[in-house]
Amino acid sequence: MRPTILNPLFAPIRSLQGIGPKLAPLFDRLLAPQGSEARLIDILLHLPHDAVDRRLSGRLSDSVAGQSGTFEIRVLAHKPSPPGRARVPYRVFVEDETGDMALVFFNAQRARIDSMLPVGSIRFVSGKIEFFDGHRQMTHPDRVLDAEAYAKLPPYEPVYGLTAGLYPRILHKAAQAALAKLPEIPEWIDPLLVKREAWPSFADALKSLHSPQTKDNLAPEAPARLRLAYDELFAGQLALLLMRQRMKKETGTSRSGDGHLVKAALAALPFALTKAQSDALAEIKRDLVSHERMLRLLQGDVGSGKTIVAFLSMVMAAEAGWQSALMAPTEILARQHYERLKPLAESIGLSMTLLTGREKGAARTQALSGLAEGSTHLAIGTHALFQEAVEFKNLGLAVIDEQHRFGVHQRLALAHKGDAVDMLVMTATPIPRTLVLTYFGDMDVSLIREKPAGRKPIDTRALPLERIDEIVESLKRPLSEGRGIYWVCPLVDESEDLDLAAVEERAQSLRAIYGDKVGLVHGKMKGADKDRAMADFASGRTRILVSTTVIEVGVDVPDATIMIIEHAERFGLAQLHQLRGRVGRGAERSSCVLLYGPLGEIGRARIDTMRKTEDGFEIAEEDLKLRGEGDVLGTRQSGMPGFRLTVPTRHSALLSIARDDAKALLAKDSALHSPRGEAVRTLLYLFERDEAIRLVGAG
């Protein structure tokens, strides 16, 4: 159980004074996973990314166009918008002893401006200086304060990431209220390291970041930032090592067959394995026959053939008399794996079943009894596989596809369906070298970097959205040749309803031209409808599939040769790469069109990277550079938590220190019973690594 000392930090944000039913949902949207409540710890770990200097800037005559400043001024006169001409701004003329300025307000309410800036009053105004017709002005000042309110304003005002409707002042006030509830927490970092690096305590680090005294306080290299990044990395490494320690304790089982089934499966494949696939398979075989449990990450770029390697690993287990289960993150993907692998399995005499949330009645009963009796050798499914009702006679190998969509607890839940189950986890998201340790430090890694023979490069082009009509027109030819076309619609401001509207509108406009050749699939459709839409596309009944990013991972239709991504600038690089990987899977030459709206610097760099390379590992490194911190493995939709406090490109040196420290601590105190061990338990609960604590208890 979480130490009671931490309870105040896990109280909901609505428990803070002033945060009622109107504001609480805004905090939930900004800080909590969908459907969850934001808590005090969430706001404390939501660090400001910049600070605005609110100190007095001197005289108006010294102000510079384009720069922000804070000035003490006297209000001279008001010039409201003329009646019936709302577009003409409301101007308030102000001065100091050196010059004058106009404060400009659009759509202003006269009563509000009158009370905020009474004629003759002294006020402190803060905002960006501009010149218009040779006159100095400030449009919609950030702050208009009297002397008493200005005295309370911090000299450097923190700038936070926000959501629509939530204002900086409210967020800053809530952060200060949460800081006041911080308990006295024991120090979990090695005292020698704290002293050597001159790091503040956890509480002092948070206080200095939420109330910066200079902009430099917020820099990634500032002592407070380094301290908190280390805490996050240390908690992560401890959790991974505790899991590894627990798995090592459970002696593995040697799963060794005579090779006849693998030989038959290889002969049944319509292609030869690449060298990278063969090497990965050899590493997996070594793990399976050893007496230590396997915990291996199979990392391969889009379309590199991981699924076949996983299938052959399951065949190896079957040959040695063990059952296997493959868990996929979505029903679409689970069904696709099942349909693709079932004929192969049956051709060599192995039985396979499918288990998702949708199997009901007789089909479900039959699937469950086959697994419990052992007559079913291979199971493919979603998280339905680790539900309580599912029992295996002798599960020996668990394969988890798209590892980052499942937490450690889900990995363990499937592993606990048998004794000393070997685990193979796969990801098609190439992970930068700096992050492999962070997320997968508990695993051995196999890499598949080469593509299967015969795969042709994908021709990637970028065009402005204004040319969308040309693109729509150009689809006539590939359609006449029977080719499949994906049309992916953009993410709209992280709102599912707007995403839905965008995708339905695009499908409608394409149907107006191409009729029933146009299909539609999105995340809010029922499972059976999604399957039907995918089956229609795969069989050729529809030839244009309009979709949200639900097709991002794993969908495999070899005769789909064109990928159109609308508003490509709104997607992360990793996600663009995953989407492009849906084409180029057959013998025909494929193309990808990135339709972009207004481009910022990062958007342009992403599109340039996509045009330059198809190497997912190169793209992942570039993505890390462009994003800095945050969710490097795709956008938030991927469900993988990004770092809250760590900037991977700036804090990677801390990772090996954190790993070494975690190893040294567990070597001396594997049950975390020493005074420092107890403090470390607090750290693990604070960063919600409760699963790791349970492993200590179970160990």
Q: What's the average model confidence in pLDDT over 214-220?
A: 91
Diameter over CA atoms, the chain: 95
Instruction: Give the SS3 label for residue 380.
Output: strand
Alpha-carbon distance 385 to 371, whole Å?
11
DSSP 8-state secondary structure symbol assigned to residue 356: -
Task: Evaluate the CA torsion angle 35, 40, 45, 51 in order and state its sign.
Answer: positive
Q: How far is CA 117 from CA 61, 131, 252, 309, in A?
A: 21, 21, 76, 71
Predicted confidence at residue 501, as pLDDT, reads 74
Spans of all domains in the chain: 4-52+159-218, 55-153, 260-448, 458-613
Chain segment 64-123, per-residue pLDDT in tens: 999 999 999 999 999 999 888 878 999 999 999 999 999 999 988 899 999 999 999 999
Chain segment 310-336, per-residue pLDDT in tens: 999 999 999 999 999 999 888 888 988
Q: How far is CA 487 from CA 218, 467, 524, 546, 567, in A?
A: 42, 15, 17, 5, 11
Q: Taking Cα atoms as reference points, which of 503, 506, 505 lies closest to residue 495?
A: 503
Q: Contact at 8 Å (CB) between 319 and 260?
A: yes
Query: Which single residue is written with the structure tokens 């991981």?
Result: 306
Predicted confidence at residue 398, as pLDDT, reads 93
Query: Which single residue is written with the structure tokens 């039913």?
Result: 21
β-pair partners for 53: 156
pLDDT score of 365 more than 80:
yes
Q: How far is CA 603 from CA 331, 467, 567, 606, 633, in A?
A: 32, 18, 10, 5, 17
Task: Evaluate the CA torsion angle 214, 164, 650, 230 in order and state its sign.
Answer: positive
Q: How far is CA 557 from the centre of its chain?
A: 26
Alpha-carbon distance 330 to 657, whole Å?
37
Find the range with the poorest average confidence among 239-248, 435-444, 505-514, 608-617. Answer: 435-444
> Same fold for the domain at 55-153 and the one at 458-613?
no
When mean pLDDT is compared over 18-22, 235-239, 415-419, the highest value belongs to 18-22
Chain segment 141-195, per-residue pLDDT in tens: 999 999 999 998 889 999 998 888 898 889 999 999 999 999 999 999 999 999 9
- Helix, strand and coil in the chain, % to nearest 5: 45, 20, 35
Which position has the higher pLDDT, 415 or 531?
531
Alpha-carbon distance 159 to 46, whole Å?
11
Predicted confidence at residue 491, as pLDDT, reads 62
Domain 260-448, CATH among 3.40.50.300, 3.30.70.1710, 3.40.30.10, 3.30.9.10: 3.40.50.300
Domain 458-613, CATH among 3.20.20.120, 3.30.70.100, 3.40.190.80, 3.40.50.300: 3.40.50.300
Q: Which two tokens stand for residue 204?
A: 């002092």
Q: How far is CA 97 from the centre of its chain?
A: 53
Alpha-carbon distance 423 to 348, whole Å?
23
422 phi/psi in degrees, rounded to 5: -75, 145
Predicted confidence at residue 651, as pLDDT, reads 83
Alpha-carbon distance 593 to 425, whole Å?
32
Chain segment 67-84, per-residue pLDDT in tens: 999 999 999 999 999 888
Q: Determine the length of the chain.
A: 699
When mean pLDDT is compared over 226-230, 244-248, 429-433, 582-586, the highest value belongs to 226-230
Predicted confidence at residue 250, as pLDDT, reads 63
Amino acid at 25: P
Question: What top-level class would CATH report for the domain 55-153?
Answer: mainly beta
Alpha-carbon distance 136 to 103, whole Å?
9
441 phi/psi in degrees, rounded to 5: -60, -15
Chain segment 413-468, per-residue pLDDT in tens: 777 788 889 989 888 766 665 566 655 665 788 888 877 777 788 999 999 999 99
Helix (H), strand (E), coil (C) string for 85-115: CCCCCEEEEEEECCEEEEEEECCCCHHHHHH
Q: Which two tokens stand for residue 32?
A: 């909590």
Alpha-carbon distance 416 to 324, whole Å?
13
* Mean pLDDT for the chain overall: 87
Q: How far is CA 216 from CA 57, 207, 222, in A?
A: 19, 15, 7
Alpha-carbon distance 299 to 276, whole Å?
11
Alpha-carbon distance 168 to 155, whole Å?
15
β-pair partners for 131: 136
Q: Which helix (H) or strand (E) holds 586?
A: none
Residue 40: which residues within 8 A CB-CB, separation 6 or more? 8, 9, 10, 11, 13, 15, 16, 178, 181
Amino acid at 64: V
